[in-house]
Chain A
Amino acid sequence: MENLQKLIRYYFNYSVMKDALPFLLKGAVLTIKFSVIAEFFGVIFGLILAIMKISKIKVFKYPSIAYIEFFRGTPLLMQIMFAYYALPYIGINLSGFFAGLLALSLNSAAYIAEIFRAGIESIERGQIEASRSLGMNFFKTMRYIVLPQAFRRVTPPLTNDFIILLKDSSLLSVIAVVELLRAAKEIATWKVNPSTYTAAAFIYLLITLPLSQLVHYLERRYKIVD
């Protein structure tokens, strides 16, 4: 009984949560900002990486494979810390905001590249042959035939990836970026009450739930069309 009361006092303390809310929401806005910008650059860079990886030209293919393996095979936390603490030694001084954005974008590009590659490779060979047989070259075939179909197929996995990115952006809290998790932590320390973490978790959930519903919706819709 006493333990339950403590749990409520420390983790579900309504007044602490309520007081912290404006600050937490500010953090949430930053979290969304980070995720959207990183996803944006991730999509552009990831698409380039995917096309490089698919191509038969070795100077494109192998660097792309190396890049993807490196960023998927090492912890994001280390990539973030490297961007913030190590880059200054080679003359690149980035604020926490930009170092975090850089690491997050480069990392998500690797994952997005694999999503695009799978999407592109899922387009039937007959589509490409029909296009090439009309005299469309490789790039026109990509631009007008393969990518429009691939984009449709990759929206659900891309949205999934975005959800993961949103949660992973909490790692930026280690380099003094006051995103949602860091905001929760600062108030928790100040108020000596970790209820703010609970509130932050709810806010994450509020952001991700509609997105995962969107994934379900898209998956159902494309199943019908295909």
Chain B
Amino acid sequence: MIKVVNLHKKFGNLHVLKGINLKLKKSEVLVIIGPSGSGKSTFLRCLNLLEETTSGEIFIEGIEITKPGVNINKIRQKVGIVFQSFNLFPHLTALGNVSLAPKKVLKMSKKNATDLGKKMLGKVGLSDKIDSFPAQLSGGQKQRVAIARALAMNPDIMLFDEVTSALDPELIKGVLDIMKSLALGGMTMIVVTHEMGFAREAGDRMIFMDDGIIMEENTLEEMFKNPQNPRTKEFLEAIL
């Protein structure tokens, strides 16, 4: 489903990703952990071409998305991303946020897009908030709208970049529960998170990223039980 071959990314002289190799099967949930600045966000952003890659290849469903001249907008429809900072559109209601892209990109009729939007907001437990503006929602609710917005495009893969780290502790669970049910429903997911409870329950595999490379990759159980790399061990001890 996803194949990443020797991916490099530089910002000027700053070498952020130094040869990432990765394979992900359909319905797999991959958890990424790693210290701040190790390149986790940059990696996710490369996967839906928010960052231009420096070298290497990324294949999604057999299509090389890093080839020059690909239709970026087509690829992005298939790869949903949710950010730490929500990035809801403040001038649109929750329903407006969710139904805009289906209308304008998938060319759905207004009615179909509205129905879809309501369905997606229902899925994240916000049926009573469809007409609220982002400013009227709590952080947890905002993040759930953001998830619904990405899901409305019916993506093949969902990327989550520390989506709960800006939330108050009591709001985190609601968001994680939605992600868990997505994972159970068979969504292919890559999740950057330090929520180890969630990782254990929903994750199939885990990678530890450090300084732009994948230091260690394993099943969650193995990773927790006996990490091979001393850096992994150190990091896990610090966050557990």
Query: Residues of A with Cβ closer than 8 Å to B?
Result: 124, 126-127, 129-137, 140, 144-145, 148-149, 152, 225
**4 closest pairs, A vs B, by CB?**
A135-B77, A130-B87, A134-B101, A126-B87
A145 → chain B closest CB, angstroms: 6
0/1 string, B149-164, CB within 8 A of A gives 1: 1100100000000000
Task: Say which residue of A124, A136, A148 sits within 8 Å of B105 (CB atoms).
Answer: A136
- Identify whether the interface residues of B are mostly helix, strand, loop, or mixed: mixed
A-contacting residues, B91-115, CB 8 Å: 91, 100-101, 104-105
16 pairs of residues in contact across A and B, judged by CB atoms under 8 Å: A124-B87, A126-B85, A127-B87, A130-B88, A130-B149, A131-B101, A133-B48, A134-B100, A134-B105, A135-B76, A135-B101, A136-B73, A140-B105, A145-B89, A149-B90, A152-B91
A202 to B202, CA, bound (A): 73
Interface size on B, residues (CB 8 A): 25
Q: Does A134 contact B83, Cβ atoms closer than 8 Å?
A: no
Q: Does B76 contact A134, Cβ atoms closer than 8 Å?
A: yes
Residue B70 interfacial (CB < 8 Å): no
Q: Does A135 contact B91, Cβ atoms closer than 8 Å?
A: no
Q: Does A136 contact B89, Cβ atoms closer than 8 Å?
A: no
Q: A134-B105, A136-B104 given as contacts; is B83 within 8 A of A126 (CB)?
A: yes
Query: Residues of B with Cβ closer than 8 Å to A?
Result: 48, 50, 73-74, 76-77, 79-81, 83, 85, 87-91, 100-101, 104-105, 135, 146, 149-150, 153
Task: Say which residue of A136, A148, A152 sits within 8 Å of B101 (CB atoms).
Answer: A136
Instruction: Write out the residue numbers on chain A whose beta carbons fall within 8 Å of the beta carbon of B135.
Output: 225
Q: A126-B85, A133-B81, A134-B150 given as contacts; is B100 within 8 A of A144 (CB)?
A: yes
Give 8 new A-B contacts, CB below 8 A, not counting A135-B76, A148-B91: A126-B85, A130-B83, A130-B87, A130-B89, A134-B76, A134-B77, A144-B100, A149-B90
A140 to B101, CA, bound (A): 9
A89 → chain B closest CB, angstroms: 49
Q: Which residue of A lies closest to B102 (CB)?
A: A134
Q: Which residue of B lies closest to A151 (CB)?
A: B91
A169 → chain B closest CB, angstroms: 33
Instruction: Write out the residue numbers on chain B whose beta carbons fall within 8 Å of the beta carbon of A129.
Output: 50, 83, 87
Q: Does A149 contact B91, Cβ atoms closer than 8 Å?
A: yes
Instruction: Write out the residue numbers on chain B whose beta carbons fall within 8 Å of the beta carbon of A127.
Output: 87, 89
Q: Which residue of B lies closest to A137 (CB)?
A: B73
Instruction: Write out the residue numbers on chain A whose beta carbons fall within 8 Å of the beta carbon of B73.
Output: 135-137
A129 to B146, CA, bound (A): 13
Q: Does A135 contact B85, Cβ atoms closer than 8 Å?
A: no
Q: A140-B104, A225-B135 given as contacts; is B76 within 8 A of A132 (CB)?
A: yes
Q: Does B104 contact A144, Cβ atoms closer than 8 Å?
A: yes
